[in-house]
């Protein structure tokens, strides 16, 4: 028989991330699954199952760049529905933060975040943007103070 | 004239860079409503509630708090035009009020750039401001060309309403905000099965997002919608560009114009489609304009 052990170390690590500690409240009722669009449109996404693996402290399948957690639509329906205030989507995002700490973010997430950190915008500015805006009679877009962002993101 | 309202618009990234037509429609339609938009310097990305938040929630909160500080210093409330920005800024306010330690941590970082987050500036999506601060009557009274006969399939998107514990906007299961506004401009709001389904943009999968947008269009088409009305540039991207992708990959054409609420409001206030940037959309709105023109003719005959 294999030994059944809860990985409390992982759970304690998750507790330290903003919103991660709410995973402790989950009693596995499945309300989140009933309302989840990602569960509806895929065969393998299941927020209750993600929470179960989290409760067992077994992150191996969850913490990776191709983990199922990246299929979450971030729609907040589970947050709305959960009777235990688990805020499942926030637990999933906390798991993603652990992916970042462990250096296993999907490359596009890392790249997108870098764009925001370096330019202050999520959409890349090109030389045509202000020209198009001028044609519509809109004011010129100025860069946000990047030095401030740099200090804050140190 | 009703009292003038001064607010700080938070344009975000998608709207000013990618879909400036939405910004144009906001700037055009707010003047007739007695809203003064005070553009503040220094706002950055909200930052986005999907990817940037996935990398580091504390960094995400810190940048959001920095943006809110700018409005606090100006003594103005913020209006948002994008559901993502609304979500980030509102959730940041919630978390920083909920957790003193987190607020202290964020303020310790903000101190390095000479800022302090207090939590005094409120955040409202522009459609919420219209309902709560202006009132539906004021919206109605700005209408000179009611969109009579135009059937609007409503798409709420996710982040305007959910989680209601944070957003405090409407019933997340049976919302009425957009229906009320669509009626105020003379159009007919249509309810449909997938009214509350997510557009799928935040899901990192090849097929699922497109299946979701497809379901929403199918649901709208089956109740006879002329246009889709929405309030978020990210959803807009899923649906405007999304229709091209659905045609290409799923061999299904819906040809349904996707219109930001302030553009619909602009048409009702008498602006031409070009004046609210509707010529920049991939799916053209000629049919809708014919419906509006036809109803105008009928009204003249009746009078």
**Neighbouring residues of B153: CB distance < 8 A, sequence distance ≥ 6:** B190, B192, B220, B223, B225, B227, B228, B229, B256
Pairing assessment for the beta strands B35-37 and B78-80 based on DSSP bridges: unpaired
Q: pLDDT for B193-237, tens place per residue?
A: 999 999 999 999 999 999 999 999 999 999 999 999 999 999 999
A44 touches chain B (CB under 8 A): no
Best CA proximity match to A77, nearest among B165, B74, B215: B165
Which residue of A34, A46, A121, A153 to mutate against B (max B Cβ within 10 Å)? A121
Are A42 and B205 an interchain contact pair (Cβ–Cβ within 8 Å)?
yes
B289 pLDDT band, cuts 50/70/90, is: confident
Helix (H, G, I), strand (E, B) or coil at B303: coil
Q: Averaged over A132-143, what is the pLDDT? A: 95
The fold of the B5-126 domain, in CATH, is Glutathione S-transferase Yfyf (Class Pi); Chain A, domain 2 (1.20.1050)
Q: Do A72 and B203 touch (CB under 8 A)?
A: yes
Same domain, A14 and A50: yes
Q: Is the pLDDT of residue B301 over 70?
A: no
| Residue range(s) occupied by CATH 1.20.1050.140 in chain B | 5-126
**pLDDT attached to residue A2:** 62
Looking at domain B144-302, which of 3.90.650.10, 3.40.50.11810, 3.40.50.300, 3.40.605.10 is its CATH number?
Answer: 3.40.50.11810
| B172·A80 Cβ contact <8 A | yes
Asked whether B11 and B30 are in contact (CB, 8 A), the reply is no
Name the DSSP class of A68: G
Instruction: For chain A, give the mean pLDDT.
Output: 96
On whether residue A83 sits in a domain, the answer given is: yes
B303: pLDDT confidence band, cut at 50, 70 and 90? very low
Confidence at B283, pLDDT banded by 50, 70, 90: confident
Say if residue A76 is in the same domain as residue A137.
no
Residues A73 and A142 in one domain: no
pLDDT, tens digit, 9 for 90 and up, residues B231-279: 999 999 999 999 999 999 999 999 999 999 999 999 999 999 999 999 9
Show Cβ contacts of residue B226 under 8 Å, excluding neighbours closer than 6 positions: B150, B151, B152, B256, B257, B287, B288, B291
> Is the preceding omega at residue A82 within 30 degrees of 0, hence cis?
no
Same domain, A120 and A82: no
ipTM over 0.90: yes
Q: Please check whether residues A15 and A91 belong to one and the same domain.
A: yes
Give the pair of three-digit tokens for residue B7.
Answer: 């607010």
> Residues B123-168: pLDDT tens digits?
999 999 999 999 999 999 999 999 999 999 999 999 999 999 999 9
- The predicted pLDDT at position B284 comes to 86
User: Which of A67, A68, A72, A116 to mutate to test binding with chain B, by most B CBs within 10 Å of its CB?
Assistant: A116
């Amino acid at each position: 028989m294999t030994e059944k052990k809860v990985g409390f170390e992982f759970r304690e690590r998750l507790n330290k991330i903003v919103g991660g500690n709410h995973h402790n409240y989950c009693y596995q009722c499945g309300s989140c699954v009933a309302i989840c669009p990602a569960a509806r449109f895929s065969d393998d996404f299941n927020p209750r199952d993600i929470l179960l693996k989290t409760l067992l402290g077994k992150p191996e399948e969850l913490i990776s760049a191709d983990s199922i957690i990246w299929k979450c639509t971030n729609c907040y329906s589970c947050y709305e529905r959960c009777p235990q205030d688990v805020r499942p989507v926030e637990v999933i995002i906390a798991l993603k933060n652990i992916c970042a700490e462990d250096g296993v973010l999907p490359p596009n997430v890392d790249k997108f975040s870098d764009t925001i950190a370096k330019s202050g915008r999520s959409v890349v500015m090109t030389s045509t943007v202000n020209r198009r805006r001028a044609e519509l009679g809109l004011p010129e877009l100025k860069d946000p103070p990047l030095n401030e962002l740099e200090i804050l993101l140190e | 004239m009703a009292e003038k309202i001064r607010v700080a618009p938070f344009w975000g990234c998608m709207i000013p860079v990618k879909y400036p037509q939405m910004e144009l429609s906001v700037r055009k339609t707010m003047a007739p409503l007695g809203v003064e938009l005070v553009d503040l310097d220094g706002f950055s990305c909200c930052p986005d509630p999907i990817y940037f938040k996935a990398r580091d929630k504390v960094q995400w909160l810190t940048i959001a708090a920095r943006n809110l500080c700018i409005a606090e210093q100006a003594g103005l409330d913020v209006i948002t035009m994008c559901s993502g920005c609304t979500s980030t800024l509102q959730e940041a306010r919630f978390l920083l009020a909920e957790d003193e330690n987190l607020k202290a941590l964020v303020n310790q970082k903000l101190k390095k750039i000479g800022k302090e987050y207090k939590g005094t500036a409120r955040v409202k999506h522009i459609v919420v401001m219209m309902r709560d601060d202006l009132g539906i009557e004021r919206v109605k009274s700005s209408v000179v060309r009611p969109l009579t006969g135009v059937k609007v399939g409503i798409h709420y998107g996710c982040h305007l309403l959910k989680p209601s514990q944070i957003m405090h906007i409407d019933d997340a299961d049976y919302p009425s905000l957009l229906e009320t506004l669509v009626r105020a401009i003379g159009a007919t709001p249509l309810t449909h099965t997938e009214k509350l389904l997510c557009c799928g943009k935040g899901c990192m999968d090849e097929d699922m997002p497109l299946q979701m947008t497809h379901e929403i269009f199918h649901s709208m088409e089956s109740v006879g919608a002329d246009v889709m009305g929405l309030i978020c540039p990210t959803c807009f991207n899923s649906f405007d560009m999304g229709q091209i992708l659905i045609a290409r990959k799923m061999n299904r054409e819906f040809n349904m114009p996707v219109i930001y609420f302030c553009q619909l409001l602009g048409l009702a206030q008498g602006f031409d489609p070009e004046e609210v940037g509707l010529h920049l959309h991939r799916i053209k709105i000629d049919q809708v304009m014919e419906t509006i023109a036809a109803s105008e003719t009928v009204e003249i005959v009746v009078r």
